């Protein structure tokens, strides 16, 4: 979108809902654009073309670069491009070498997805561990369908879960789609496009039984991590996701209405979770322990949210004899407790924050079993009456 930019306008430009991100092209400096994401981020990018095709280059965040500085950098970038012996700016590969996968990732892909994608660090980790060591030095236009197919077979051979393999393939597919969209020279086909994804079974569901709850709570209470017990208890009581609990802050709690505002869910939208008496009681006791902090369950060493509680959790679940229990299974258990208590699938959907009923249908068999048990109560009464007991 071509627009006459100024400092005030640059600070107010936003991305319409549903677009992900939008580029506002500066009418005074046509090769400069301010890219705004739906998440509220804004950054300067320079667009240019050379013998390799059309490119997008990240310049910096709008908060650290003024409009005048961004225009100056964009002009300087194009000047460097025109210099003999330096056909690409500093850090770019010479023309005859083309565009390597590694260069595209670090110069184009990561700066772009950091603008709007909440899970960009997950992408970064997959790239660093699984993709860059294999494809990093390869030219983008010399990566073929057979290369991606070989990678898929390699991951399967290493015993990676089907969902994990599919996630890696989806990332590759997205990366090459962007490279085609941005005009990376020679990249006209997506080598990951026609790779068939592996069938994923979501049948694995682990629910805590009522008898297993006590040994689990006893085990987490004995943990060296003093925050583990309240964290696990909060997960069980609310059915919230692990990251939602770990990142929770005191200013998210509405004590008067007994509501917990979760600012950003997996779907990227806020939601309000009603707090039961047990959750409020837990929070009251937690306020005595960590009320000095902005966070409800802070790491005592940093006063920031835990990045991970895996090691203390792993020790506790093994101590409780629940070796295969995952933290996410506590969310499933919350749903099973509700349904076995006679609550409807609609209520489960609302409390878990599912955006559609399809996600909640995985618990339908529990609801059916509860209905059958309820029906058995009436059947037993009638049978007894008919038999004279």
DSSP 343-368: --HHHHHHHHT-SSHHHHGGGHHHHH
In a domain, 220, yes or no: yes
**Res 253: pLDDT:** 95
In a domain, 173, yes or no: no
Distance CA 282, CA 237 (A): 9
Cα angle, residue 229 at apex, residues 226 and 235 outer, rounded to 5°: 135
Q: Which one of 89, 117, 134 terminates a domain?
A: 89
DSSP 158-189: TT--HHHHHHHHHHHHHHHHHHHHTTBTT--S
Q: Which two tokens stand for residue 33?
A: 């654009």
- Give, as one character, the DSSP assignment of residue 92: P
pLDDT by position in tens, the chain (length 389): 667 777 777 777 887 776 667 778 877 777 788 888 776 777 888 876 655 555 667 777 777 778 887 787 777 766 665 544 443 444 444 333 468 899 899 988 998 888 777 778 889 999 999 999 999 988 898 899 999 999 999 999 999 988 899 999 999 999 999 999 888 878 889 999 989 988 876 556 788 888 999 999 999 999 999 999 999 999 999 999 999 999 999 999 999 999 999 987 766 678 899 999 999 999 999 999 987 899 999 999 999 999 999 999 999 999 999 999 999 999 999 988 888 888 888 888 888 888 777 777 777 777 666 656 655 666 665 656 556 55
Q: Is 18 helix (H, G, I), strand (E, B) or coil?
A: coil
Distance CA 21, CA 23 (A): 7
Q: Is 30 helix (H, G, I), strand (E, B) or coil?
A: coil
Q: Which one of 49, 72, 89 terminates a domain?
A: 89
In a domain, 111, yes or no: no
In a domain, 186, yes or no: no
Distance CA 99, CA 87 (A): 13
Region of residue 367 (phi > 0: left; psi between -120 and 50: alpha; otherwise: beta): alpha
Same domain, 82 and 215: no
Distance CA 242, CA 110 (A): 26
Distance CA 176, CA 187 (A): 8
Same domain, 83 and 224: no
Residues 216-253 as b/e (b if ≥16 CB within 10 A, e otherwise) read beebbeebebebbbbbbbbbbbbbbbbebbbbbeeebb
Distance CA 124, CA 93 (A): 21
In a domain, 47, yes or no: yes
287 contacts: CB under 8 Å, gap ≥ 6 = 250
Query: How many structural domains are present in the chain?
Result: 2
In a domain, 187, yes or no: no
Q: Give the CATH number for residue 12.
A: 3.30.160.390
N-term to C-term CA, the chain? 81
Q: What range does the domain containing 40 cover?
A: 1-89
Beta strands in the chain (DSSP E): 2-3, 21-26, 32-37, 42-50, 53-61, 253-254, 259-262, 271-274
Q: Which residue has the tokens 């301010």?
A: 34
In a domain, 201, yes or no: no
- Asked if 96 and 90 touch (Cβ cutoff 8 Å), the reply is no
- Residue 55 burial (CB < 10 Å; 0-12/13-18/19+)? buried
pTM of the model: 0.54
- How many residues does the structure list for the chain? 389
247 contacts: CB under 8 Å, gap ≥ 6 = 295, 305
51, 52, 54, 55: CA torsion to nearest 10: -120
For residue 332, the number of C-alpha atoms closer than 13 Å in the C-beta half-sphere is 19
Q: Which one of 39, 55, 89 terminates a domain?
A: 89
Q: Give the CATH number for residue 293.
A: 1.10.443.10
**pLDDT tens per residue across span 46-102:** 876 655 555 667 777 777 778 887 787 777 766 665 544 443 444 444 333 468 899
345 contacts: CB under 8 Å, gap ≥ 6 = 339, 357, 360, 361, 363, 364, 367
**Res 203: pLDDT:** 54
Same domain, 222 and 81: no
Distance CA 7, CA 386 (A): 85
Distance CA 207, CA 336 (A): 7
**Res 284: pLDDT:** 95
In a domain, 85, yes or no: yes
């Amino acid at each position: 979108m071509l627009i006459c930019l100024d400092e005030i306008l640059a600070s107010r430009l936003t991305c319409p809902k549903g677009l992900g991100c939008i580029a506002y092209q500066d009418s005074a400096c046509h090769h400069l654009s301010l890219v705004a994401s739906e998440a509220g981020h804004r950054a300067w990018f320079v667009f240019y073309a050379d013998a390799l095709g059309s490119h997008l280059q990240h310049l910096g965040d709008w908060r650290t670069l003024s409009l005048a500085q961004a225009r100056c950098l964009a002009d300087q970038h194009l000047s460097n491009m025109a210099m003999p012996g330096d056909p690409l700016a500093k850090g770019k590969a010479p023309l005859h070498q083309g565009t390597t996968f590694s260069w595209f990732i670090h110069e184009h892909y990561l700066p772009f997805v950091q603008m709007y994608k909440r899970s960009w660090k997950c992408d970064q980790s997959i790239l660093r561990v699984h993709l860059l060591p294999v494809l990093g030095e390869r030219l983008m236009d010399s990566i073929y369908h057979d290369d991606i197919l070989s990678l898929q077979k390699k991951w399967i051979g290493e015993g990676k879960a089907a969902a994990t393999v599919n996630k890696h393939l989806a990332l590759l597919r997205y990366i090459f789609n962007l490279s085609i969209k941005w005009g990376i020279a020679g990249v006209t086909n997506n080598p990951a496009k026609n790779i068939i994804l592996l069938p994923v079974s979501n049948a694995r569901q682990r629910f805590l039984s009522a008898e297993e709850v006590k040994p689990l709570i006893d085990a987490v209470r004995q943990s060296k991590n003093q925050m583990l017990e309240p964290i696990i208890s909060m997960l069980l009581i609310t059915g919230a996701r692990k990251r939602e609990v770990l990142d929770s802050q005191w200013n998210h709690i509405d004590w008067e209405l007994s509501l917990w505002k979760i600012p950003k869910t997996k779907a990227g939208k806020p939601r309000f979770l009603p707090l039961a008496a047990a959750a409020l009681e837990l929070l009251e006791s937690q306020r005595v322990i960590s009320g000095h902090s902005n966070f409800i369950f802070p790491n005592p060493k940093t006063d920031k949210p835990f990045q991970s509680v895996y090691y203390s959790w792993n020790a506790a679940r093994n101590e409780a004899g629940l070796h295969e229990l995952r933290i996410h299974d506590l969310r499933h258990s919350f749903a099973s407790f509700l349904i076995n208590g006679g609550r409807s699938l609609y209520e489960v959907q609302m409390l878990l924050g599912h955006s559609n009923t399809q996600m909640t249908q995985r618990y339908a068999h529990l609801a059916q079993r509860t209905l059958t048990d309820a029906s058995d109560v009436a059947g037993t009464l009638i049978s007894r009456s008919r038999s004279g007991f």
